A and B are shown apart, each in its own frame.
Chain A
Amino acid sequence: MIEENKKGKEHPLSILAQEAYQVFSDMGFEIVTGPELESEWYNFDVLNVPKDHPARDMQDTFFIKDEIGKVLRTHTTSVTARSIEQAVKEGRIPCAFVSIGKVFRNEATDSTHEMQFYQIDGAMVGENISIADMKGVLSNYYKKILGDDVEIQFRPSFFPFTEPSIEVFAKFKGKWLEMGGSGMLHPNVLRNLGLDPAKVQGFAFGHGFDRPAMIKWKIPDVRLFYQGDIRLNQFN
Chain B
Amino acid sequence: MLISYNWLKWYIPEVPEVNKLIDIFNYHLCEMESLEKMSNGDTVFDIKVLPNRAHDLLSHQGMACELASLLNIKYLDPTPKYKIPKSKPTTLQIKVESEKCRRYMGRIIKGVKVGSSPKWVVEHLESIGQRSINNIVDAANLVMFDCGQPTHAFDLEKMDSVIIVREAKEGESIITLDNKEVKFKNSNMVIADTKNVLAVAGIKGGKIAEVDNNTKNIILEVANFDPISVRKTAQDLNIFTDARKRFENDLSSELASYAMREFSALILEMCPDAIFEDVVDIYPQKQEIRELSFSADRISKILGLSVSVDKIKDILKKYNFKYKEEKGDFEIVVPQLRLDLQIEEDMAEEIGRILGYDKIKEKVSKINFKIRQNEIYVKTFSARTKLLNDGYSEIMNSTFRNTGEISVLASASDKKFLRTNLTDGLKESLKLNLINTPLLGVNEIKIFEIGTVFKKTGEEMHVAYGDKKEIKEMKLKEFFKKVSSEFLREKVLPLENLRQDLKEQKFKMWSLFPFIARDIAVWVPEDISCIDVEKIIKENIGDMVIKGPELFDEFKKDGKISYAFRLVFQSYDRTLIDTEVNDIMTKISNKIKDKNGWQVR
- CB contact under 8 A between A130 and B505, given known A1-B551, A14-B394, A54-B249: no
CB < 8 Å: which of A54, A63, A102, A128 contacts B409? A63
Residues facing B in A1-46 (CB within 8 A) are 1-15, 18-19, 21-22, 25, 27-33, 35-37
Closest Cβ neighbor of A217 among chain B residues: B507
Which residues of the other chain, B, contact A163 by a CB distance below 8 angstroms? 343, 345-346, 348-349
Chain B CB count within 10 A is highest, among A8, A219, A233, for: A8
A109 contact set on B, CB distance < 8 A: 412-413
- Given A136-B363, A155-B26, verify A62-B369 contact (CB < 8 Å): no
* Closest Cβ–Cβ distance, residue A161 to chain B (whole Å): 12
A residues near B370, Cβ cutoff 8 Å:
92
Q: Which of under 10, 10 to 19, 20 to 34, or 35 or more describes the interface residues of A?
A: 35 or more
Q: Are B499 and A18 in contact (CB under 8 A)?
A: yes
Whole-angstrom CA separation of A29 from B366 in the bound complex: 10
The residue in B353, B445, B554 that gathers the most chain A C-beta atoms within 10 A of its C-beta is: B353
Report whether B231 and A187 are in contact in the complex, using a CB–CB cutoff of 8 Å. no
Whether the Cβ atoms of B369 and A28 lie closer than 8 Å is: yes
Find chain B residues with CB under 8 A from A154 CB. Answer: 357-358, 360
Number of A-B pairs, beta carbon distance below 8 Å: 290
Asked if A19 and B506 make an inter-chain contact with CB atoms under 8 angstroms apart, the answer reads no
Within the complex, which residue of B369, B396, B507 is in contact with A96, where a contact is CB–CB below 8 Å?
A: B369
Is there an interface contact between A67 and B550, defined as CB atoms closer than 8 Å?
A: no
Contacts known (A63-B409, A106-B411, A107-B412); A55 close to B367, Cβ less than 8 A: no
CB pair A140 B364 closer than 8 Å: yes
A158 partner, pick from B52, B445, B506, beta carbons under 8 A: B52
Tell me whether A184 and B302 are in contact (CB under 8 A).
yes
B369 A95 Cβ-Cβ under 8 A? yes
B345 (CB) vs chain A CBs: closest residue: A163
In the complex, which residues of chain A have a beta carbon less than 8 angstroms from the beta carbon of B448?
A: 8
Segment at the A interface, from B282-290, B398-406, B572-580:
B398-406
Q: Number of B interface residues, CB 8 Å? A: 113
Q: With A and B bound together, what is the CA distance between A107 and B458 in angstroms? A: 25
Distance in angstroms from A163 CB to nearest chain B CB is: 4
A67: chain B residues within 8 A (beta carbon): 406
B369 pairs with A94, CB closer than 8 A: yes
Cα–Cα, bound, A131→B356 (Å): 12
Contact B425 A106 (CB under 8 A): no
Contacts of B52 in A (CB 8 A): 158
Given the known interface contacts A52-B231, A164-B353, the answer about A33 and B409 at a Cβ–Cβ threshold of 8 Å is no
Given contacts A96-B367, A115-B412, contact A36 B301 (CB under 8 A): no
B 500-523 to A, binary, CB cutoff 8 A, 1 in contact else 0: 001101111110000000000000
Our pick among B31, B352, B384, B391 for the contact of A6 (Cβ within 8 Å) is: B391
Residue of A25, A136, A225 with most partner-chain B CB within 10 A:
A136
Residue of A nearest to B300 (CB): A130
Taken together as a complex, chains A and B put the C-alpha atoms of A35 and B195 apart, in Å, by 54
Interface: A129 (CB within 8 A): yes
Q: Which residues of B contact A8 (CB under 8 A)?
A: 387-394, 446-448
A104 — which chain B residues lie within 8 A by C-beta? 399
Docked Cα-Cα span, A33 to B372, in Å, equals: 12
Q: Which residues of A contact B248 (CB under 8 A)?
A: 54
* B452 surroundings in chain A (CB, below 8 A): 36, 102
Contact digits for B370-400, partner A, Cβ 8 Å, 1 yes 0 no: 1111101100010010011111111111111
Distance in angstroms between the alpha carbons of A23 and B518 in the assembled complex = 46
Give Cα distance in the complex from A132 to B436, angstroms.
Answer: 50
Q: Is the CB of B408 within 8 A of A72?
A: yes
Could you tell me if B505 and A228 are in contact, using CB atoms closer than 8 angstroms?
no
- Distance (whole angstroms) from the CB of B36 to the closest CB of chain A: 21
Does A65 lie at the interface of the complex (its beta carbon under 8 Å from any beta carbon of B)?
A: yes
Expressed in whole angstroms, the Cα–Cα distance for A130 and B301 within the complex equals: 7
CA distance in complex: A216, B446 (Å): 27
Taken residue by residue from 45 to 60, chain B's Cβ proximity to chain A (1 for < 8 Å, 0 otherwise) reads as 0000011111000000
Which residue in chain A gives the minimum CB-CB distance to B447?
A: A230
- Per the bound structure, the CA–CA distance linking A186 and B443 in Å amounts to 55
* Chain A binding surface SS class: mixed
Q: Which chain A positions have C-beta within 8 A of B31?
A: 155, 167
**CB 8 Å contact bits of B461-484 with A (1 = contact, 0 = none):** 000000000000000000000000
Looking at B305, B388, B389, B439, the one whose CB has the most chain A CB atoms below 10 A away is: B388
Q: Tell whether A30 pairs with B391 under 8 Å between CB atoms, given A106-B408, A219-B507.
A: no
B236 to chain A, nearest CB (A): 12
Q: Which of A14, A25, A52, A157 contacts B384 (CB 8 A)?
A: A14
CB nearest to B400 among chain A residues: A115
Measured CB to CB, the closest approach of chain A to B505, in angstroms, equals 5
Tell me the smallest distance from the CB of B62 to a CB of chain A, in Å.
16
Separation of A106 and B413 alpha carbons in the complex (Å): 8
- With a CB–CB cut-off of 8 A, which chain B residues contact A136? 362-365
Q: Which of A36, A54, A133, A230 contacts B395 (CB under 8 A)?
A: A230
Q: Say whether, besides A62-B411, A228-B428, A28 and B371 are in contact (CB < 8 Å).
A: yes
How far, in angstroms, from A22 to B353 measured CA to CA in the complex? 32
Please name the residue on chain A nearest to B452 by beta carbon: A36
Once the chains bind, are B364 and A130 in contact (CB under 8 Å)? no
Residue A139 at the B interface, CB < 8 A?
yes
Taking CB atoms, residues of chain B closer than 8 Å to A2 are: 441-443, 550-552, 566
The answer to whether A36 and B364 touch across the interface, beta carbons within 8 angstroms, is no
Please give, as numbers and ranges, the residues of chain A lying within 8 Å of B372 by CB-CB distance: 30
Residues of A within 8 A of B446 (CB): 8
Pair A15/B410 contact, Cβ less than 8 Å: no
Within 8 A of A (CB), among B427-468: 428-429, 432-433, 436, 439-443, 445-449, 451-452, 454, 458-459
Q: Assuming the A-B contacts A14-B394, A217-B507, are A187 and B343 also in contact, with contact meaning beta carbons closer than 8 angstroms in the complex?
A: yes
Interface mask (B409-424 → A, CB under 8 Å = 1, otherwise 0): 1111100101000000
Interface centre among B29, B449, B502, B554 (most CB of A within 10 A): B502
A170 on the interface (CB 8 Å rule)? no
A88 at the interface (CB under 8 A from B): no
A204 interface residue per 8 A CB criterion: no
CB within 8 A of B432: which of A58, A226, A229? Answer: A229
**Across the interface, which residues of B come within 8 angstroms of A107, CB to CB?**
412
B407 within 8 A of A: yes
Chain B contacts for A95, CB-based, 8 A = 367, 369
State the CA gap A14–B368 with chains docked (Å). Answer: 29
| A62–B373 CA distance with the chains assembled, in angstroms | 31
Our pick among A7, A106, A128, A218 for the contact of B507 (Cβ within 8 Å) is A218
- Further pairs besides A15-B499, A54-B248, A64-B409: 5, Cβ < 8 Å: A8-B388, A54-B54, A64-B407, A124-B365, A132-B303
List 10 A-B pairs, minimum CB-CB distance, nearest first: A132-B304, A130-B304, A228-B429, A164-B349, A154-B357, A158-B50, A136-B364, A217-B507, A163-B345, A156-B353
A-to-B contact residues, CB < 8 Å: 1-15, 18-19, 21-22, 25, 27-33, 35-37, 52-55, 58, 60, 62-65, 67, 72, 92, 94-96, 102, 104, 106-109, 115-116, 124, 126, 128-137, 139-140, 147, 153-158, 163-167, 184, 186-187, 201, 216-220, 225-231, 233-235
A-B contact pairs, 12 of them (CB 8 A): A2-B443, A2-B566, A3-B441, A22-B496, A30-B371, A58-B51, A92-B370, A108-B412, A126-B365, A128-B365, A139-B362, A227-B397
